[in-house]
Structure 1
Amino acid sequence: MTRWRSLGLRAQALALVCTVMAVTACAESNTSVIHTEKSAFENIVVYEQAGERCMKFGSVEAPGRQSCYAIDAPQRLIFDYTRMMFGALYLKPDPARIMIIGLGGGSMPTALHTVLPRTVIDTVEIDPAVVSVAKKYFNFKPDGTLRVHVADGRAFVQQALKEGRRYDIVMLDAFDEDYIPPHLLTREFLQEVKAVLTPGGVVAANTFTASRVYDDESTTYADVFGPFYNLRANNRIILAGPSPLPSVDAMRATAARLEPRLIPLGVDANALLARFSSRKDWAATGKVLTD
Structure 2
Amino acid sequence: MGTIIKRPEIKGDIVHVASDPHGNILVIDDRKHRILSFDSVFEQSKILRASPNVPVHEYNRAMLLPIAFASPGRVTVLGLGGGVLAHGLFTLLPDSIIDVYELRRKVAEIAKDWFALPESERLRVHIADARLAVDQLPEASTDMILTDLYSADRMSPAQSQRQFIKACSRALSSTGWLVLNYHRMPEPDGNLLRELKRQFPLLLVFKSRTNNWVIYGRKQDFDPWSIDKSRLNALEERLPIGWRKLIKKLSRLVPAVTPSEP
* Fold equivalence (TM over 0.5): yes
CA-atom RMSD in angstroms: 2.4
**Distance across 2 between alignment mates of 1:37 and 1:159:** 30
Classify the secondary structure of the residue corresponding to 1:190.
Answer: helix
Structure 1 residue 96 corresponds to structure 2 residue 77:
no
Q: How many residues align?
A: 247
Is the 1:174–1:180 contact (alpha carbons within 8 Å) kept by the matching residues of 2?
yes
Classify the secondary structure of the residue corresponding to 1:134.
Answer: helix
Aligned residue in 2 for 1:231: 206
Give the C-alpha shift of residue 83 in structure 1: 0.9
Structure 1 residue 160 corresponds to structure 2 residue 137:
yes
Is the 1:33–1:47 contact (alpha carbons within 8 Å) kept by the matching residues of 2?
yes
Structure 1 residue 42 corresponds to structure 2 residue 54:
no
State how 1:1-291 maps to structure 2 within 5 Å: 1-2=1-2, 31-58=12-39, 60=40, 62-63=41-42, 65-92=43-70, 94-161=71-138, 164=139, 166-208=141-183, 210=184, 213-215=186-188, 216=190, 217-233=192-208, 234-244=211-221, 246-250=222-226, 252-253=227-228, 256-280=230-254
Give the C-alpha shift of residue 100 in structure 1: 0.2
1:167/1:113 CA distance change after superposition, 3 Å: same
Give the C-alpha shift of residue 119 in structure 1: 0.2
Q: 1:231-253: CA deviations, max 9, x gaps?
A: 11121111102222x21332x21
Aligned residue in 2 for 1:22: none
* TM-score scaled by length of structure 2: 0.85
Is the 1:187–1:224 contact (alpha carbons within 8 Å) kept by the matching residues of 2?
no
* TM-score scaled by length of structure 1: 0.77
**Distance across 2 between alignment mates of 1:131 and 1:122:** 13
Give the C-alpha shift of residue 214 in structure 1: 4.5
Is the 1:2–1:125 contact (alpha carbons within 8 Å) kept by the matching residues of 2?
no
**Distance across 2 between alignment mates of 1:165 and 1:77:** 29
Is the 1:142–1:148 contact (alpha carbons within 8 Å) kept by the matching residues of 2?
no
1:280/1:201 CA distance change after superposition, 3 Å: closer
5+ residue gaps, structure 1 = 4-27, 282-287
Q: 1:194-235: CA deviations, max 9, x gaps?
A: 010001100011112x45x54434344224324400011121
1:139/1:243 CA distance change after superposition, 3 Å: same
**Distance across 2 between alignment mates of 1:98 and 1:125:** 15
The range that moved more, 260-269 or 104-113, is 260-269
**Distance across 1 between alignment mates of 2:131 and 2:13:** 36
**Distance across 1 between alignment mates of 2:142 and 2:91:** 19
Q: 1:36-74: CA deviations, max 9, x gaps?
A: 11112121000101311110012x2x23x1111112232
Give the C-alpha shift of residue 118 in structure 1: 1.5
- 4+ long deviations beyond 6 Å: none
Q: 1:81-116: CA deviations, max 9, x gaps?
A: 111011111332x11000000101112111211121
Classify the secondary structure of the residue corresponding to 1:46.
Answer: strand
